[in-house]
Structure 1
Amino acid sequence: MKQTQKVPEATSKRLPIYYRILQKFEQAGKKRVSSNELSEVLKVDAATIRRDFSHFGALGRKGYGYDVEELVQFFRGVLDQDEATNVALIGVGSLGSAFIKYNFQKSHNTRVVIAFDPKAPHEGKEMNGVPVYHPDEIEEQIQKRGIEVVILTVPSKVAQEVTNRLATIGIKGILNFTTTRLTVPDTIRVHTIDLSVELQTLIYFIRNDENQSQMD
């Protein structure tokens, strides 16, 4: 079951969701599942699910559907779930503190192993088991740990400045929670999550659904 073509970004974003749902099916003892069953749970139409899966070759069998255990193993490999990824957090305000308290290691293979905040001492302090250093230590501490992915929760006014520093030390990915549209070299991938935009989008869809219901 090999990837046969470039996977669209929209499909890639759904892969962790497929993996999570399939894990739940496996834990419940379910042996096989159809695209229609997945559609009911995920609220994604069955045709889209089949098209997403088709990018990875023949994952299912006609008349049978998909083997749950095989799919879990396959997506674990695709998502590198057997290899832990260490992440740095820059900005330990309200949102950053929530990341540290939750820490991703509890649910999958990604975990925050170091954080940076202007209020922290240069020699570092510990918060929920995570060492927190002053931002002056970013280059040294990140390079020492070989970290390639960063969560950015700093004030927007300093987001680009911090990003410029990260670009000089081999960072490959930034999960950006600021409202700044970051400028980065081609070697860095940025995913921006603007919570205010997401909330406005949610409200729009709610209002649109209400208008559609009134028209029906």
Structure 2
Amino acid sequence: MTGTTQRIPQATSKRLPLYYRFLQNFANAGKRRVSSSELSEAMKIDAATIRRDFSHFGALGRKGYGYDVNDLLLFFRRALDQDEETDVALIGVGSLGNAFLKYNFQKNHNTRIVVAFDPKAPREGKMISNIPVFHPDMMEEKIKELGINLVILTVPTRAAQEIADRMVDIGVKGILNFTPVRLTAPDWMRIHTIDLSVELQTLIYFIKNDEKHSQIE
């Protein structure tokens, strides 16, 4: 396999964890090689898209053979830094935040929540699901102390931008934003927003459209 230094399209980058997950499934089933059409059928992604995604990383497969499952797993493990754990801070321990603490990712993930912050927590901290939870007054101190560069934001809408500004001030590199607020931040900070209400409305829209098309047919 050959590497590449070219810039990878964002859409391709977002699919990398999916490729890794499905390749793990193939490996667990004892499959040694896989074709783009087999991946396409399993993932419901067009085979041409898969081949185009893989082409950004050089020669990942061989014509007439397909892709070696273990080789691909090793490649994507390295690409996703699966061998290196990433510590994450959770800000906001309401219903959604509590769910994150209880889940705190599984063995197949390379991330773990190591600290959380919530206004109801004391400054000295308390344990929830074996994770220390502190008052937001302690955010800057604890995040710097733990060397954290990624935070999950599950706070009320009114507090979202203020928290983001505080993260910018201490150099946090990324925010996974579960609030509906479109946060503003410098270009060097990565912000991924997951608005659950928008995702739900989008799903409802597609379901209704599918129903209309099936009635027409």
Does residue 57 in structure 1 map to residue 58 in structure 2? yes
Normalising to structure 1: TM-score of the pair?
0.98
Distance 2:122 2:32 in 1: 53
- Work out whether residues 89 and 114 of structure 1, in 8 Å CA contact, stay in contact via their aligned partners in 2: yes
Distance 1:176 1:118 in 2: 18
Q: Write the deviation string for residues 150-205 of structure 1: whole angstroms up to 9, x where unpaired.
A: 00000010100011111111100000000111010112100000000000111111
- The corresponding residue for 1:70 is 71
Does residue 130 in structure 1 map to residue 131 in structure 2? yes
- Number of aligned pairs? 216
Does residue 179 in structure 1 map to residue 180 in structure 2? yes
Does residue 95 in structure 1 map to residue 82 in structure 2? no
Gaps of 5+ in 1: none
Q: Write the deviation string for residues 80-104 of structure 1: whole angstroms up to 9, x where unpaired.
A: 0010000000000000000000001
| Residues 105-120 of structure 1: pairs in structure 2 closer than 5 A | 105-120=106-121
Normalising to structure 2: TM-score of the pair?
0.97
Q: Secondary structure at the match of 1:167?
A: helix
Distance 2:61 2:25 in 1: 19
TM superposition shift of 1:105: 4.2
One-letter amino acid of the counterpart of residue 33, structure 1? V
Query: How large is the RMSD of aligned CA atoms in angstroms?
Result: 0.9
Distance 2:91 2:162 in 1: 12
Q: Secondary structure at the match of 1:21?
A: helix
- Work out whether residues 160 and 183 of structure 1, in 8 Å CA contact, stay in contact via their aligned partners in 2: yes
Distance 1:215 1:63 in 2: 42
Identity fraction in percent:
70
